[in-house]
Amino acid sequence: MATRAVADNRQRQATPPAPRGAAVPVPDVRSWRHDLHQIPELSFQEHRTAEYVATALTSMGLAVTRGVGGTGVVATLRRGTGGAVGLRADMDGLPLTERGERPYRSRHDGVMHACGHDGHMAMVLGAAHVLAAEGGFAGTVHLVFQPAEEHGLGAKAMIADGLFERFPVDAMYGLHGMPGHPAGRISTRAGALMASEDNFEIRVTGRGGHAARPQMVVDPIVVAAEIVLALQTVVARNVDPTDPAVVSCTEITTDGARNAIPGQVVIRGDTRSFSPAVQALLERRIRQLAGGICAAHDATCEVTYTHEFEPTVNDPAAVATAVAAARLTVGDGHVDPDTAPWTASEDFGAFLRHVPGCFALLGTGEAPAAGGTALHSPDFDFNDDVLAIGMRYYVHLVRAALPAGDGS
């Protein structure tokens, strides 16, 4: 009996909660997701993807604008007068070769949807379908299909192309599938949810020579090794322990040979943090440590430090709206309103530098065979069982943010 009870409890945890509210067109959403999964495209190359979503949105009677920020698409749905919200879905795939024999496998060799962007697009398309058919809100909804999320460039491109001047919103909302979380659980938090990502390159220049005559060289490998070790003290000894941060050296290359001490070593890596102050601290200390260690060894260095992704910082009022919508969708027991921050990065953070909003995570499952395969894996596939939940969440979100009025 005890064993059966445990098994039953595990089954309940693995089964997504049924979305609350009116019936939802799950077959259409699955079909959209499978179609989009077959035509993945890399950043700023999402031409077929953009045309697919634009055609679907046009068929719903929405006003559609193509080419925003390159390949971006914005569809607008108006019902009477009121405020305006944006719902965002990312469109690009990853340069990976898909594994598995599913019938809707990627048709583009070396490119696949390994981060769930096909699911994100399908959920927003589904929400557009329901909102266009049922209304239930007063105001304007802008459905933003963003290119180039994976490289952190698409949101900035759309903003530079006048996104918020052409399609003004009071708040922006997004949702990301999250393997490892129980299927159907919606998680978010006020404040920093996801980290910034900055990249660095340290080019150490010494004086190369024969490996048998080290006294005649300035060995940049030794210098680089000291720099790599010293960088591990930045988080441990310079960052406040209550401020999360990561410094990772991910690549070291030289211009040497087996029997030659190189003249140059390049160290590459990235950092993650949740605030501009910590970002600035990490950059400053990396430059200081690299420069000081090189000077001590009579070597020189050049440090390049670039900001790739903004931190994703949620607005408390927008989070309250999102949490209310999540509870209407799946019930209080399946909502985490104060989830732990995640040190991965999301291009959505760039939008939140300009308008308030909330980004949330939708659990897709814990077991690899049931939606729990890691993001960016060639084995990844979005869990279709949570599509209806994400779609209905967006519907509730719009109706919570734009309460129904005379024009709805």
Enumerate the known binding-site residues for Mn(2+): 115, 117, 150, 176, 376
Distances (CA, A) of 320 to 36, 348, 392: 32, 18, 17
Q: Which tokens in the block code for residue 102?
A: 């599913």
Angle at 64 between CA 126 and CA 401, to 5 degrees: 55
368: DSSP letter = G
Nearest to 34 by CA among 391, 390, 362, 387: 387
Query: At residue 403, what is the residue type?
Result: P
CA angle 344, 283, 353 (to 5 degrees): 55
CA distance 272 to 277: 12
Lookup result for tokens 């089954």: 11
Q: Which DSSP category does 207 fall into?
A: B
User: Are residues 156 and 98 in contact, defined by beta-carbon separation less than 8 angstroms?
Assistant: no
Spatial contact of 112 and 97, defined as CB atoms under 8 Å apart: yes
Q: How far apart are CA 159 and CA 221, in angstroms?
A: 43
Q: How many CB atoms lie within 10 A of CB 261?
A: 23
End-to-end CA distance of the chain: 53
3-state class (DSSP) for residue 67: strand
Active site residues: 92, 149
Assigned token pair, 258: 């087996």
Torsion of CA 337, 343, 344, 347, to 10 degrees: 70
CA 122, 123, 127, 129: dihedral to nearest 10 degrees? Answer: 20
Q: How far apart are CA 339 and CA 385, in angstroms?
A: 22
- What's the rounded Cα separation, in Å, for the pair 123 and 29? 7
Buried-state track 291-309, b at ≥16 Cβ within 10 A, e below 16: bebbeeeebbbebebeeeb
- Dist. CA 313–CA 196, nearest whole Å: 10
Instruction: Find, among 232, 243, 241, the residue nearest to 195 by Cα.
Output: 243
